[in-house]
Amino acid sequence: MSDAYAQPTTEADRAIPGPLAGYTTLRMGGPAGRIVAVTSADEIIRAVQASDEPILVLAGGSNVVIGDAGFPGTVVLVRSRGLRVLTEDAESVTVRVEAGEPWDDLVAATIGNGWAGLECLSGIPGSTGATPIQNVGAYGQEVAETITGVEVYDRLDGTRRIVPAAECGFAYRGSIFKYQDRWVVLSVDFRLTRSPLSGPVRYAELARALGVEVGERVLLADARATVLRLRAGKGMVLDAADPDTRSVGSFFTNPVLDRATYEQLLERSAGLGEPPAWPGADGLVKVSAAWLIDKAGFTKGHPGEGGVAISSKHTLALTNRSGTASTSDLLTLASTIRDTVHARLGVTLHPEPVLINCAL
Q: Which helix (H) or strand (E) holds 222?
A: helix 220-233
Catalytic residue, from 250, 269, 311, 326: name it: 250
Closest CA to 86 of 169, 127, 147: 147
Q: How far apart are CA 291 and CA 252, in angstroms?
A: 12
> Is-catalytic flag, 338?
no
To the query of whether residue 167 is one of the catalytic residues in this protein, the response is no
Catalytic residue, from 101, 119, 151, 352: name it: 352
Q: Which of 1, 247, 245, 252 is nearest to 122 (CA)?
A: 1
Residue 175 bears catalytic tag:
no
Question: Degrees (nearest 5) of the Cα angle 202, 97, 17?
Answer: 110
- Under a CB-based contact definition with an 8 Å cutoff, are residues 165 and 152 in contact? no
Instruction: State the alpha helices, DSSP H only, in 64-148.
Output: 103-112
Q: Which of 34, 79, 173, 338 is catalytic?
A: 173
Is-contact 181 155, C-beta < 8 A? yes
Q: What residues have CB less than 8 Å from 194, skipping those under 6 apart?
A: 90, 91, 92, 93, 114, 115, 116
E strand intervals along the chain: 32-38, 55-58, 64-66, 71-78, 83-88, 92-98, 115-116, 137-138, 141-142, 147-154, 159-164, 183-194, 256-257, 277-279, 285-287, 309-310, 318-319, 354-356
Catalytic positions are: 173, 250, 352
